[in-house]
Structure 1
Amino acid sequence: MRRILVLLNERAGTVVDRGPEAVTAALAALGEGGRAVDIRMLPPKAMPAAIAEGARSSHDALVVGGGDGSVNLAASALAGTGKVLGVLPFGTMNLFARDLRMPADIEGAVTALQAATPQAVDLATLDGRPFHSLSGIGFFSQMARAREETRGHPLGRFLGVAWAALKALRRTGKFRFEVALDGRREIVDAFAVLVTNNRFGVDWRRPRLDEGLLEVHIAEDASTLGLARAGADLVTGGWRDNPGIRSTTAREVTISHVRRRAWTATDGELIRADVPLHYGVAPKSLTVLMAPPEEAPAPAVRPAEAEA
C-alpha cells in the first residue's frame, strides 16, 4: 500500500481526549517507508460523504478513526471493492477494532497498522445493508436511543453508557415475534434479540471473522431481576451462562413482528427498519488490515540452562 487516506471524526473520544494535533502527529508515522498519507480531520456530519468519496478515490487503503458507527459506513462503502480498510479504535466500544487486534492507545494502533496485512473477512447484512459486528432489537435499540440522549454526559463516556443502560432497562418490555432460522420458524416472547456477525466469545471478541455464520441471542426472561441480569450479562459478556438467554447459529435470519417498522441498533447506530427484518451473511466481502497476533513472551532461561 503506497497511498493511504485517513479520515478522523473530530468528535471521536480519542481525538477529544488527546487533542487533534497530538493525534495527527502520531498518525504521521504511517508515512514511513515512502507511503503517501493524507490525514483529514472532519466534523461528524462530513464523515459519510468523505467516506463515500474515499471509497471511489485512487488511494490503496482507507483508514477510519471513529466509533463503530463510522466504521460501519466505511465497511459498507468498501464491501466488494477490494480496497483495504484500516480501523483506529477511537470510539467507546470499538468491537471491530479489537477483533482486528488494534490497541486502544493511538501510538500502539499506529504501530499495529504498520505491521498489519490485508485479510478478507465476513460482513453481515440487514435488509441488504452491511454491518460488521452486531444488530439488536428490543433492549438494544432502547440502549442506542438512550445513549444518544446521554451523549456528552458530564461524568464521562463510560458512566454515560452505564446511565444509558439503566434508562434502556426501564423502557424495555417483552414483545412477541416470529423468528425464522434458516427457514425453521418459531414464535418467541422476548425483551431483546441480538444478531452478531460470526460468534463472539465471553470477552466480546471473535476468534474468527470468516466463519460465514450469524449467531442469534434471544433474551426471554422479562422479570425485573431477569431483565437487569440479562442486560448486565449481555453488556459484560456473561450471557452464555445465563439460562434466560439462548443462543443459536444460522446463515439466514428473518424476524417478523406485528408492527410495520422497528427500531434496530446496528453497530451502535439507531436505525428505523421495515419489518420483517432479513439478516444474512456476505462471506469474505471486506478486506481489512489485520494486525499480527501478540507474541507470547519467551520463557525465562535459568543461568544453569544458559551455561549448558
Structure 2
Amino acid sequence: MKILVLLNRDGGTLKTTDLDWLSELLRDEFQVHGHEITVERCAGKGIVEAIRRHASRNDIDVLLVGGGDGTVSAAASALMGGSVALGILPAGTMNLFARSLQIPLDIPQAVAALASGTTTEVDMGMVNDEPFVHQYAVGLHARMVRFREHIAYGSRIGKMWATTRAVFLALRRLPVVELTIDIDGKVERIKSSAVAISNNLYGPGHLPFADNPRGGVLGVYVCRQRNMRRVMKLTMDILVGRWRGNPDLEVQSAHRVEIAYSGRNHSNRAVRDGELDLLDDRSIVEIKPLALKVLVPSDATYLPHGSEAAAQTATAHPADAI
C-alpha cells in the first residue's frame, strides 16, 4: 500500500515529540510490512488545507494523520465517501475516535498496530450534511467549550486543566435549552440542560466513545435535570462510563433525529466534534453507515467476520488488505 503521513507539528503531543525519531519509526515499521510511505510535517494552521489537498489523490491508499482530535475530524470529513482510507496516529487530549477504532494510544504501539493493520469501513454522523466522527451536542457542552476558549493553555496537560475549569464554570449556572426533538418519528418538546447525539452508542465503563464504530445507530442522550449537584454527578458518571445507571440521563438509539430551536442566540450554541458550531433553527442528524474507510489494527473486535468478511474480500481491491 502507498501511505502518506501528515504530522501536525503543533497538534497535541506532537508539539513535544521528536519528529525526526517519529518519522524514522513510521518509515521502518511500514516498510517492514511492504508498504511505500512518505512522511510530511505541517504547521497547525496549514494542516486542514494539506488534508483537503491530498484527500482527492488517486495515487495513495491511506492518508495517515498525526495530531489532535480537530485534525482527525477534519481528515475524516475530507475523506468520507472516498477511496482513500484514514489512518489515525493518536496525539490529542482525548483521542476518542481513535479509542473507538481500538488504536493504541501509545505512539510506538499505534505505529506497529497500523503498519500490520487492515482497512474497513465505519459509520459517520451527519448534522445538516456536515459530518462528525464523535458527537454533536447542544446546551451544557457548548457552554463549557465557550468558557474553555477564554482560558489560555499551551500543552496537553494545560488543555486538560482548562477543560476541567471550564466544566466547573459551566456548571455554576446551568443552561436551559428549549427544543422540539423528533427521534425516529417520535416528537416531543423538551427543556434540557444538555442534549448530545453520538456516532454510535457509547460503551460502558470508560470515557464516552463507541465500542462498535460499525453499529449503524445514533446514540441520543438527554438530561432534563437542572439541579447543579445532580448534573455534576451525571457529568462525572459520563466521564467514567457509569452513565447507564444514572437516572438523570435518558438514552435512546436512533437513525434520524430532528431538532427545532427557536431561541435568539444561534452562534456557538452547538458543538460538533469538540468545536463550537452554529445551532440552526432546524438540525437534521443522521447516521451514514460505513461511509468512512479507515486503517485499523487487524485484531480490532468490530471487524466483520464470516460471510460479511468473505463478501468484502471478494469485491475489495487487493490493496485493501495489508
* TM-score of the pair, normalised by structure 2: 0.85
| Corresponding residue of 2:40 | 40
| Corresponding residue of 2:306 | none
| Corresponding residue of 1:299 | none
| Displacement of 1:289 | 1.0
Is 1:16 the counterpart of 2:15? The answer is: yes
| Displacement of 1:87 | 0.6
Superposition pairs for residues 193-208 of structure 1, below 5 Å? 193-202=195-204, 203=206, 204-208=208-212
| Displacement of 1:139 | 1.0
| Displacement of 1:198 | 0.8
Q: Distance in 2 between matches of 1:26 and 1:12?
A: 19
Is 1:234 the counterpart of 2:233? The answer is: no
Q: CA RMSD in A?
A: 1.9
Determine helix, strand or coil for the equivalent of 2:278: strand
Residue type of the partner of 2:184?
D
| Displacement of 1:272 | 1.8
Aligned sequence identity (%) = 33
CA contact (8 A) 1:60 1:83 kept: yes
- Range with bigger deviation, 14-23 or 192-201: 14-23
CA contact (8 A) 2:261 2:280 kept: no
1:177 to 179, 196, 202: 179
Q: Distance in 1 between matches of 2:154 and 2:86?
A: 31
| Corresponding residue of 1:289 | 295
Q: Distance in 2 between matches of 1:144 and 1:208?
A: 27
| Displacement of 1:48 | 1.2
Deviations 1:192-219, CA, capped at 9 Å, x for gaps: 0010011111213423112211110001
| Corresponding residue of 2:169 | 167
Unaligned runs of 5+ in 2: 302-322
Deviations 1:26-66, CA, capped at 9 Å, x for gaps: 32223334422221221222111101111112211101111
| Corresponding residue of 2:153 | 152
Structure 1 residues 12 and 216: alpha-carbon distance in aligned structure 2, compared to 1, 3 A threshold: same
Q: Distance in 2 between matches of 1:148 and 1:112?
A: 34
| Corresponding residue of 2:3 | 4
Determine helix, strand or coil for the equivalent of 1:274: coil
| Displacement of 1:275 | 2.1
Q: Distance in 2 between matches of 1:165 and 1:127?
A: 27
Determine helix, strand or coil for the equivalent of 1:25: helix
Superposition pairs for residues 223-262 of structure 1, below 5 Å? 223-259=227-263, 261=266
Residue type of the partner of 2:12?
G
Aligned residues: 294
| Corresponding residue of 2:314 | none
| Corresponding residue of 1:306 | none
CA contact (8 A) 1:76 1:130 kept: yes
